[in-house]
Amino acid sequence: MTVLEVERLSKSFPIKSGLLQRETGRVRAVQDVSFSIARGETLALVGESGCGKTTVARCILRALPPSSGAIRFSPQEGTTIDLAPLSRSALRPIRRHIQMIFQDPYASLNPRMMVGDIIAEPLLVAGVPLAKRQARVRELLELVGLPPAARTRFPHAFSGGQRQRIGIARALALDPTLVVADEPVSALDVSVQAQIINLLLDLQDRLGLSMLFVAHDLGVVRHVSDRVAVMYVGRIVEVAPTIALYARPRHPYTEALLAAVPKPDPMLRDAAAAPRGEVADPANPPPGCAFHPRCPHAVDRCRVELPELREVAPGNFSACHRAEELTLVGVA
């Protein structure tokens, strides 16, 4: 069953300049993005900064109104609602079903609230009575591996990893249908990051969470996701099951990303060349395929014709004109 289906989602922002702040152009941050997440599935959305992955997440949370496209969400079996056109008040009853885990465990918790109150806040907003709230907070603390005594303490008493556990407990308080996690471990030290990754894996198993996992670290993504969608300059360039994507990328940008990750093995000092050039400006993307100026495989067609995302192998989608003929290098 599909929990979320995003279809041709686009979001652009005006560029204003001059004394009158007239609109002089538009940054197309997200363009024609389509994907779906099945119940119990974790889809990772990866890409470099500015690629639009966070904008996609914010549109799904309706923290931003999409410019066009549909965001079909199924809070329970048999009910599907398009979130894209909904008003604030129409969204309110739906919000409890989509929760967010933030990147920065320091900035995302109110320092003046006790941890128990932070975790209970979504329950309070949803009108859960006091006794039930307290029981649920105890349950959630246990679930994320924090001691019951954490309830009456303030966030500053906790380390970054523990604070991220608090943030996760808050996100899970209302048993959401979908969790959107935006770089949930990138601010943490490696040893703590590993603990949180394992916690997320445990929670996926125990609760059957459906997650959209926004991240840039391909190592982390490999551990937590079932499928991966790769974005480049506002568009999805490849979607595939995790193992397939890493073993045999079908888009040259995915290949470049995998090659660029520094491998923790001194015997494998890459001859692997970093891709040349820089990420294109989303306000002024190159014609054709946006990756063509950096692509070692580009041909004339790539410079003029925009490649559509299409199925090139079962379950494997690529937006590269040459996806079928190229044999790209992944990691074993």
Partner 1 sequence: MVEAARRVLSVRDLVVDFVQDTGTIRALDGVSLDLHAGRVLGVVGESGCGKSLTARAVLRLVDRPGRIVSGKVLLDPGAPAQQELTALDPEGEAIRAVRGGRIGLIFQEPMSALSMHYTVGNQIIEAIRAHSGLGKSAARQRAIELLQEVGIPRPETRIDAYPFQLSGGLRQRVGIALALAADPEILIADEPTTALDVTTQAQILALLRRLQRTKGMALMLITHDMGVIAQMADDVAVMYLGKVVEFAPVQQLFAAPRHPYTRALLRSVPNIRAVPRERLATIGGAVPHPESRPTGCAFHPRCPEIIAGRCALEMPPPLPPDQEGASCFHVMPKMMVDA
**Residues near partner 1 (CB under 8 A):** 48-49, 159-162, 189-195, 197-198, 201, 216-220, 222-226, 242-243, 246, 256-270, 272-275, 278-279, 331-332
List beta partners, residue 238.
230, 318
Determine the Cα–Cα distance for residues 216 and 28; give it in Å rounded to an integer. Answer: 20
Determine the Cα–Cα distance for residues 242 and 83; give it in Å rounded to an integer. Answer: 28
Quick one: DSSP state of residue 287? Answer: S
Minimum distance of partner 1 from residue 137's CB (angstroms): 23
Instruction: State which residue, 15 or 273, has the beta carbon closest to partner 1.
Output: 273
Instruction: State which residue, 20 or 267, has the beta carbon closest to partner 1.
Output: 267
Minimum distance of partner 1 from residue 296's CB (angstroms): 13
Minimum distance of partner 1 from residue 246's CB (angstroms): 6
Instruction: State which residue, 107 or 126, has the beta carbon closest to partner 1.
Output: 107
Burial class of residue 40 in the structure, from the number of CB atoms within 10 Å of its CB (0-12 exposed, 13-18 middle, 19+ buried)? middle
Minimum distance of partner 1 from residue 265's CB (angstroms): 6
User: Own/partner pairs for 238-245, CB < 8 Å, 24+ apart?
Assistant: 238/316, 238/317, 238/318, 238/319, 238/320, 239/35, 239/309, 239/316, 239/317, 240/313, 240/315, 240/316, 240/317, 241/315, 241/316, 242/44, 244/313, 244/315, 244/316, 245/316, 245/330
Instruction: State which residue, 64 or 197, has the beta carbon closest to partner 1.
Output: 197
Minimum distance of partner 1 from residue 273's CB (angstroms): 8
DSSP H helical segments within the chain, as ranges? Answer: 53-60, 88-95, 115-125, 130-143, 160-172, 190-207, 218-224, 242-247, 252-260, 300-304
Determine the Cα–Cα distance for residues 170 and 82; give it in Å rounded to an integer. Answer: 25
| Residue 255 CA, distance from chain mean position | 20
Instruction: State which residue, 139 or 270, has the beta carbon closest to partner 1.
Output: 270
Contact 328, 248 (CB under 8 A): yes
Instruction: State which residue, 127 or 264, has the beta carbon closest to partner 1.
Output: 264
Instruction: State which residue, 76 or 159, has the beta carbon closest to partner 1.
Output: 159
Minimum distance of partner 1 from residue 241's CB (angstroms): 9
Minimum distance of partner 1 from residue 37's CB (angstroms): 16
| Residue 217 CA, distance from chain mean position | 11
Instruction: State which residue, 96 or 222, has the beta carbon closest to partner 1.
Output: 222
Minimum distance of partner 1 from residue 67's CB (angstroms): 25
Determine the Cα–Cα distance for residues 211 and 43; give it in Å rounded to an integer. Answer: 6
The Cβ-side half-sphere exposure at 156, using a 13 Å CA radius, reads 3
